[in-house]
């Protein structure tokens, strides 16, 4: 009897040992496949620094994890943080200014709205001002922020992507130069010809230069006085500075927020990002400081972020910014969980249509809903990928410190994304 029981025990052990060995073998095989994924995809190289995380939000499974917790310069992919923060703290419409109308004067106090007289954004406040027959008095406010962010390239001051932050933006804080003409025409007296192809504006003053037939946008030096002068010239009526009692001022709601978000994402407009954070800061802290909004977001919206980021501006212009692919995936997962896939996808750039994403990652129909981010020697892409099978994946693909051309890096990234699209 003892021998019979011993026989069955041995047979039971042998049988189930086989099953457990098989399961263990499959698990190890799966781990080996995942571990070898980066090498198979060509991510492991000595030419530059890469990181990739691919996550399935439905199964909660990480499919690819390569350097996902190491820090990268995110460039404009940081605008995903800006979008998420803005969605949480800004209403559906905002005010260009607060106003009060007395018997003989219209008083307005600017609110940092980036859309006023912007060439591509709806804003009804100018029509409101244009109908006025009374003199307009602009009420000043304290503007605590610096015109540029920490870590911005000072020598980019004359390029379209780096307008100054300001209390009273007008024309997007840029002018358009073509041949010997400039818009707004207020600056006509400051425009002159030059043979220096690299010079568009003096550093300290609004002296502008044109060369040949090139068309380009140039940021102008900002101040409240300069904005008043521009508004005076555009309206062709009296506009002056005032110290009016601001307690009587009420908001003039003029600007739908959704077009600002599209401009932020589709055009990757740095100016839009910074001004949105100034508005949130003023609402939440009473001060115009981008860093205040960043701190609020970190303390309340992103308290469980996997890797503490180095976050210094709203646009991603600064090379001081540092975050990880894992952080980007975490943020993108939070966005669709909180606001829904449809809303977020409608705000994201996509391939399969016109635009830079289609140029760099071409497709017959959209399967990438993602934000690019590029500064010299760095190119990143973070967003959502719908596979050939219809599976929703979240990914962050970051590449820093390359000395090859960005087109070569994007070509390699496209190959990897195509592989993921077909495999999953």
295 part of a folded domain: yes
Pair 228, 124 in one domain: yes
| Mean local confidence (pLDDT), 324-341 | 98
Q: Are residues 232 and 288 in the same domain?
A: no
Tokens of 281: 């800061």
Place of tokens 């207020």: 186
- pLDDT at 23 > cutoff 90: no
Residue given tokens 């098989």 in the structure block: 22
Q: 64 and 98, same structural domain?
A: no
Query: What is the CA angle 312-318-320, rounded to 5?
Result: 65
Same-domain status, 195 and 69: no
User: Where does the pLDDT of residue 221 fall: very low under 50, low under 70, confident under 90, or very high at 90 and above?
Assistant: very high
What are the tokens at 123? 């804003």
Q: What is the CATH classification number for the domain harbouring 287? A: 3.40.710.10
Contact by Cβ (8 Å): 75, 374: yes
Residue 43 confidence (pLDDT) above 50? yes
Same domain, 74 and 122: no
Q: Is the pLDDT of residue 190 over 80?
A: yes
Q: What is the rounded distance in angstroms from the CA atom of residue 365 to the CA atom of residue 369? A: 11
Summarize the confidence of residues 166-170 as an average pLDDT.
98
Query: In this structure, what token pair is assigned to residue 204?
Result: 């300290």
Decide if pLDDT at 341 tops 90.
Answer: yes
**Peptide bond preceding 235 in cis form (omega within 30 of 0):** no
Residue 318, domain extent? 36-85+283-423
For 62-82, what is the mean pLDDT?
A: 98
Share of the chain above pLDDT 70, in %: 90
Q: Are residues 205 and 316 in the same domain?
A: no
- What pLDDT was estimated at residue 3? 47
Mean pLDDT of all residues belonging to the chain: 92
Instruction: Give the pair of three-digit tokens for residue 73.
Output: 């310069």
Q: Is the pLDDT of residue 121 over 50?
A: yes
Confidence of residue 243 (pLDDT cuts 50, 70, 90): confident
3-state secondary structure of 342: helix
**Distance in angstroms (rounded) separating the CA atoms of residues 309 and 113:** 28
How do strand 61-66 and strand 136-139 relate by DSSP bridges? unpaired
Q: What is the total count of domains within the chain? A: 2
Name, in order, each residue with C-beta under 8 angstroms of 4's C-beta and a sequence gap of 6 or more.
Answer: none
Strands (E), 334-377: 368-375
- Looking at residue 32, what is its pLDDT? 47
Residue that terminates a domain, selected from 239, 255, 271: 255
317 and 242 assigned to the same domain: no
Q: Among residues 205, 174, 179, 178, which one has the least CA distance to residue 190?
A: 205
Query: Per-residue pLDDT for 20 more than 60?
Result: no
């Amino acid at each position: 009897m003892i021998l019979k029981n011993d026989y069955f025990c041995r047979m039971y052990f042998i049988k189930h040992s086989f099953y457990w060995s098989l399961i263990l073998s499959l698990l190890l095989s799966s781990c080996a496949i995942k571990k070898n994924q980066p090498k198979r995809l060509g991510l492991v190289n000595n030419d530059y620094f890469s990181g990739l995380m691919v996550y399935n939000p439905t199964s909660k499974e990480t499919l690819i994890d390569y350097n996902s917790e190491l820090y990268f310069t995110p460039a404009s992919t940081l605008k995903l943080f800006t979008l998420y923060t803005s969605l949480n703290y800004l209403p559906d419409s905002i005010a260009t200014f607060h106003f009060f109308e007395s018997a003989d004067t219209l008083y307005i106090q600017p609110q940092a709205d980036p859309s006023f007289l912007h060439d591509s954004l709806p804003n009804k406040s100018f029509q409101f001002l244009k109908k006025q027959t009374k003199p307009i008095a602009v009420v000043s406010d304290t503007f605590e922020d610096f015109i540029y962010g920490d870590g911005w390239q000072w020598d980019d001051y004359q390029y379209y992507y780096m307008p100054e932050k300001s209390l009273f933006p007008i024309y997007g804080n840029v002018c358009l130069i073509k041949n010997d003409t400039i818009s707004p025409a207020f600056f006509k007296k400051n425009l002159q010809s030059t043979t220096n192809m690299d010079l568009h504006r003096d550093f300290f003053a609004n002296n502008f230069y044109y060369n040949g037939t090139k068309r380009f946008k140039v940021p102008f030096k900002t101040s409240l006085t300069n904005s008043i002068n521009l508004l005076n010239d555009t309206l062709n009526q009296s506009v002056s500075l005032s110290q009016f009692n601001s307690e009587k001022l009420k908001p003039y709601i003029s600007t739908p927020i959704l077009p600002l978000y599209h401009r932020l994402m589709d055009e990757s407009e740095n100016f839009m990002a910074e001004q949105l954070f100034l508005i949130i800061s003023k609402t939440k802290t009473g001060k115009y400081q981008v860093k205040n909004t960043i701190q609020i977001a970190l303390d309340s919206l992103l308290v469980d972020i996997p890797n503490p980021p180095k976050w210094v501006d709203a646009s991603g212009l600064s090379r001081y910014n540092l975050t990880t692919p894992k952080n980007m995936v975490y943020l993108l997962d939070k966005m669709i969980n909180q606001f829904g896939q449809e809303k977020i996808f409608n705000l994201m750039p996509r391939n399969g249509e016109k635009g830079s994403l289609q140029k760099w990652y071409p497709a017959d129909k959209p399967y990438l809903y993602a934000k690019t981010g590029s500064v010299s020697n760095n190119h990143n892409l973070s967003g959502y990928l719908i596979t050939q099978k219809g599976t929703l994946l979240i990914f962050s693909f970051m590449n820093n410190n390359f000395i090859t051309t960005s087109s070569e890096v994007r070509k390699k990234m496209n190959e990897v994304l195509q592989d993921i699209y077909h495999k999953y």
